[in-house]
Amino acid sequence: MSRVDPPSVVNIADLRAVAKKRLPRVVFDYIDGGAGAEWTMGENARVFDDVVFRPRSAVATATVDLRTTVLGETIDLPFLLAPVGSSRLFWPRGEEVAARAAGDAGTIYTLSTLSGCTVRDVKAATRGPVWYQLYLVGGRDVALAGIERAKAAGCSALVVTVDTPVAGNRERDVRNGTKELVSGAPFTMLPFIGQFLARPRWLAAFLLDGGLMKFENVILKDGPMPYADVAAALEQSMVSWADFQWIREAWQGPIVVKGVHTADDARQAIDHGAKAVVVSNHGGRQLDGVAPTLCVLPEVLAAVNEQAEVLLDGGIRRGSDVVKALCIGARAVLIGRAHAYGLGAAGAAGVARSIEILRSDIVRTMKLLGCASVRDLDGSFIEMPAGWLLANDRSAPPTLDEIDRLRAHGQRPLPQSIIDLARQRDR
């Protein structure tokens, strides 16, 4: 059992290091890697450094209230566990293990369609709420059956991911032989099998858990979908805005749209029935070169205009990151890699440690800010780059001259929608 308590593990980066030692390269890089040159993945985390705090000194904050409400459910933490596919590869019964840790901490677990445990078993494993994340893998009829199982299990929200018309160009997966390793052909697998043999403890647990998982929530005519390269399956089953009509009719509950990255898509999501949107670029795993999600958050908040709740994921590694997102206006955030590193490092103990690291850091940060409740966090506690502030003020878009000056001083590009507004006004 890997140690994940202090002083061995004091932050998420330490959990990452433990997971890297325990997991085969192909599995670790599935968690750790992004698309293309991985610029967007890196910027998702780095960009939090561009936001600085403005603390209130000499303010007594003996206790800090971290409770918030998401889609009518009160949770004890301002972060949820994001959907992470194939978690059963990281630890035996991985999705159930992570869901149980989320429930024990008083927050929500989001189960991926592409998981190795059934939605029924995951919901039974936790005392907390479970959201079900929907891909249309297998087609409409298969997805409808999955929705019905999620309803029967008691999932409280459906998360529809809209940013996967194809899988991203994940170069680490290619180098590690992911496609070859799941092919089942011995001679095809042989050049890559050594990375499993190099992790005998992981391999023993993997085999005792039944070996290569199936996608237990994608039920085809012959049973659960075998584990395989899902790129082709995603391309054949992309979700479009037109699909939301039958998805709404089947689900009859709150829908969260994940993968919103522009004001236009935020408005589309609301028009198609979303009660919440997640500002997300899939953790930098889809289109490399898109803006980090924290930069996009002001644009989406302005477009939503309180018609739906706005959540954010991407790059969360510290509790202070969570606080910055809440100050800008997110209702809560989702953590993906942060909890997946914990799961890969030490199972339940690792997930619990990742949650505790973030929780403790949020409390510490808020006490240092002089703020006693997450509900009181707002823009007065931070300073954002000028371009972000202009993006948030849609009633007074910057002039084209102001945009040029921001660019000349090295500011990050403004959202295209703001530039379009400036052009319309300056004609």
Per-residue HEC secondary structure of the chain comes to: CCCCCCCCCCCHHHHHHHHHHHCCHHHHHHHHCCCCCCHHHHHHHHHHHHCEECCCCCCCCCCCECCEEECCEEECCCEEECCCCCHHHCCCCHHHHHHHHHHHHCCCEEECCCCCCCHHHHHHHCCCCEEEEECCCCCHHHHHHHHHHHHHHCCCEEEEECCCCCCCCCHHHHHHCHHHHCCCCHHHHHHHCHHHHCCHHHHHHHHHCCCCCEEEEEEECCEEEECCCCHHHHHHCCCCHHHHHHHHHHHCCCEEEEEECCHHHHHHHHHCCCCEEEECCHHHCCCCCCCCHHHHHHHHHHHHCCCCEEEEECCCCCHHHHHHHHHHCCCEEEECHHHHHHHHHHHHHHHHHHHHHHHHHHHHHHHHHCCCEHHHCCHHHEECCHHHHHHHCCCCCCCHHHHHHHHHCCCCCCCHHHHHHHHHHHC
pLDDT value of residue 395: 45
pLDDT value of residue 237: 77
> In this prediction, what percent of the chain has a pLDDT beyond 70?
90
* pLDDT band at residue 256 using 50, 70 and 90 as cut-offs: very high
389-413 residue pLDDT tens: 555 554 455 667 766 665 555 555 5
pLDDT value of residue 184: 83
408-422 residue pLDDT tens: 555 555 555 556 656
pLDDT value of residue 203: 97
Nearest to 314 by CA among 46, 76, 112, 106: 46
Q: How far is CA 301 from the centre of its chain?
A: 18
266-299 residue pLDDT tens: 999 999 999 999 999 999 999 999 999 999 999 9
> In this prediction, what percent of the chain has a pLDDT beyond 90?
83
Mean pLDDT of 365-374: 97
37-72 residue pLDDT tens: 999 999 999 999 999 999 999 999 999 999 999 999
pLDDT value of residue 263: 92
Q: Distance of CA 248 to CAs 2, 112, 160, 251, 270, Å?
A: 44, 18, 11, 5, 12
- pLDDT for residue 28 is more than 70: yes
Beta carbons of 310 and 304 less than 8 angstroms apart = yes
Mean pLDDT of 77-100: 98
Nearest to 308 by CA among 358, 253, 238, 254: 254
- pLDDT for residue 137 is more than 70: yes
Mark whether 261 is an active-site residue: no
pLDDT value of residue 18: 98
89-110 residue pLDDT tens: 999 999 999 999 999 999 999 9
Q: Catalytic pick from 261, 272, 282, 339?
A: 282
pLDDT value of residue 394: 46
pTM: 0.91
Phi-psi region of 349 (alpha: psi -120 to 50; beta: other; left: phi over 0): alpha
Nearest to 79 by CA among 349, 313, 364: 313
Query: What is the identity of the amino acid at 11?
Result: N
- Distance of alpha carbon 279 from alpha carbon 415, whole angstroms: 14
180-230 residue pLDDT tens: 998 888 899 999 999 999 999 999 999 999 999 999 999 999 999 999 767
Beta carbons of 395 and 347 less than 8 angstroms apart = no
* pLDDT band at residue 143 using 50, 70 and 90 as cut-offs: very high
Phi-psi region of 343 (alpha: psi -120 to 50; beta: other; left: phi over 0): alpha
Mean pLDDT of 250-262: 97
pLDDT value of residue 238: 86
- What is the set of domains in the chain, with CATH numbers? 12-171+229-381 (3.20.20.70), 385-426 (no CATH)
Q: What's the mean per-residue pLDDT of the chain? A: 92
- Distance of alpha carbon 68 from alpha carbon 93, whole angstroms: 29
- pLDDT for residue 9 is more than 60: yes
